[in-house]
Structure 1
Amino acid sequence: MVKNYMEDVVEDLVDKLWNENTDKDFCKCEKCKNDVIALSLNKLPPKYFSSDKGNIWTKLIFADNQKMTDVMTAVAEAMKIVKSSQRH
């Protein structure tokens, strides 16, 4: 098993922000959501692991506030881009 932990972090954050977003001009379709996820992941370095030990180690890395701030910034920027240029 090889997994990019960054995908889980980004998807969880996007899901949370998606539900909290009350901006009526922001489309909440699945295509726009996937665009936000893809744009965010392209801005962030991958964090792959291949074992349970690696998974735990990677989770510990994300306990650092700066790592989560970087993820939040990438997601916020991606949401701005998707809002201004919806592809559906």
Structure 2
Amino acid sequence: MEDFVTMKLDEVIDDLNCCKCDQCRRDIISYALNRLAPKYVSTDTGRALAKVGLMSSQAEIDVLTAIYEGAEVVRKHPRHPVPKK
């Protein structure tokens, strides 16, 4: 799940209007992962089935929603000083 969330964040980060530093990226990923159902597997077959499940439209929508919500929270409350414009 973490790899999938990271991949989706990479795809949409330019549209999020938020800081792209490593700290903010980790915070967005952590926020999203904490709000998504875990997908634990212990076999190669389980990994394959989990990947297939993540390819569903609903799974992608759930991940993107969590990412966008995380970006909003991180944008409003970054854990580093915000440079003045």
In which range does the TM-score fall when normalised by the shorter chain? 0.7 to 0.9
Structure 1 unaligned blocks of 5 or more: 1-5
Cα contact 2:16–2:71 (8 A) shared by 1: no
- Taking the aligned partners of 2:26 and 2:43, their CA distance within structure 1 comes to 27
2:54 is aligned with 1:54:
no
TM-score when scaled to structure 1?
0.83
1:5-47 superposed Cα distances (whole Å, 9 cap, x missing partner) = x1111111112222x3373xx2111001100000000000110
Deviation of the 1:63 alpha carbon: 2.4
Deviation of the 1:48 alpha carbon: 1.2
Q: Please name the residue that 1:42 is paired with.
A: 34
Which residue identity lines up with residue 77 of structure 1 in the other structure?
E
- Taking the aligned partners of 1:79 and 1:22, their CA distance within structure 2 comes to 7
Which residue identity lines up with residue 37 of structure 2 in the other structure?
P
Q: Please name the residue that 2:25 is paired with.
A: 33
TM-score when scaled to structure 2?
0.85
Which of 50, 60, 83 is the aligned partner of 2:75? 83
Q: Please name the residue that 2:2 is paired with.
A: 7
Gap change, CA 1:28 and 1:63, over 3 Å in 2:
closer
The residue matched to 2:65 in structure 1 has which SS? helix
Which residue identity lines up with residue 4 of structure 2 in the other structure?
V
CA RMSD of aligned residues (A): 1.3
Structure 2 unaligned blocks of 5 or more: 81-85
